Amino acid sequence: MAAALTAARLGHRVLLTEETDWLGGQLTAQAVPSDEHPWIETPHVSSGYRELRNRIRDYYRRNYPLLPEVAAQEVLNPGLGNVSKLCVEPRVALAALEEMLMPYVSAGRITVLLDTVPVGAETDGDRVTSVTLRGTRTGELTTVTAPLIADATELGDLLELTGTEHVIGAESQDETGEPYAAPVADPTDQQAITWCFPLEYRPGRSTSSTSPPPTTTGRPTPTPSGRARSCPGRRSTSTP
């Protein structure tokens, strides 16, 4: 999103693809409040991200029956969560993101393809020259070329498709020279998997179920390609 908006503002035409039917990643598909540093509400934040946060808060002020004293809060946190200073509903974050895109979509500078994944790529030396996309609903294949292709997927899909050199997990002290790095490289040292889901309180209704079996390990299991799967979220590729 940030790459697509920046390129469009600079006068370029952009094709933005999204694996599912919602843009937004963590704020929308993953239903997770953004995990941020403590200075996020200070001037030390990018102008684009500040605009997004302001748009989300203004959406609540315009459309939700907030108490006057709540609506007047400069740092409004609709969900009152403590993991983030801005806990919101995924659909509100999506509305704000689409609003930011709309001036450029309507002007033809940004084209959004939902339900679309990269399945192939061509390279010339160290440069990616084209990407082949597949519609997950239609199966239709489309090959696009661009002077700049940005991989903004959650798992770095183009790394494997382009054969780009990359490292996963924890590197060793010998590889990086970091004094606190592990003595031996560990490719399985990756962020744990998190499953997020919404809850609804229904008085008088029991929806209990049997407990799942206990897990035997707290570490993620890599896929055959060596990558650990994280939250089921958005993958997007922007090509200005």
pLDDT in tens, 94-128: 999 999 999 999 999 999 999 999 999 999 999 99
Considering the chain, what percentage of its residues have pLDDT values greater than 90?
62
pLDDT higher than threshold 70 for residue 57: yes
pLDDT higher than threshold 50 for residue 231: no
> How far, in Å, CA of 105 to CA of 155, rounded?
26
157, 237 in Cβ contact below 8 A?
A: yes
211 band by pLDDT with thresholds 50, 70 and 90:
confident
217 band by pLDDT with thresholds 50, 70 and 90:
low
pLDDT for 155-186, tens place per residue?
899 999 999 998 889 999 999 999 999 899 99
For strand 127-135 and strand 14-18, is the pairing parallel, antiparallel, or unpaired? unpaired
Output the average pLDDT for the chain: 86
**Sequence-distant (≥ 6) Cβ neighbours of residue 51 within 8 angstroms:** 100
Q: Per DSSP, which regions of 107-222 are E strands?
A: 110-113, 116-124, 127-135, 141-145, 150-152
Buried b (16+ CB within 10 A) or exposed e, 131-167: bebbeeeeeeeeeeebeebbbbbbbebbbebbeeeee
Cα distances from 69 to residues 61, 63, 72, in angstroms, run 11, 16, 5
134, two tokens: 């597949």
Residue 174's pLDDT is 93
56, two tokens: 């989300």
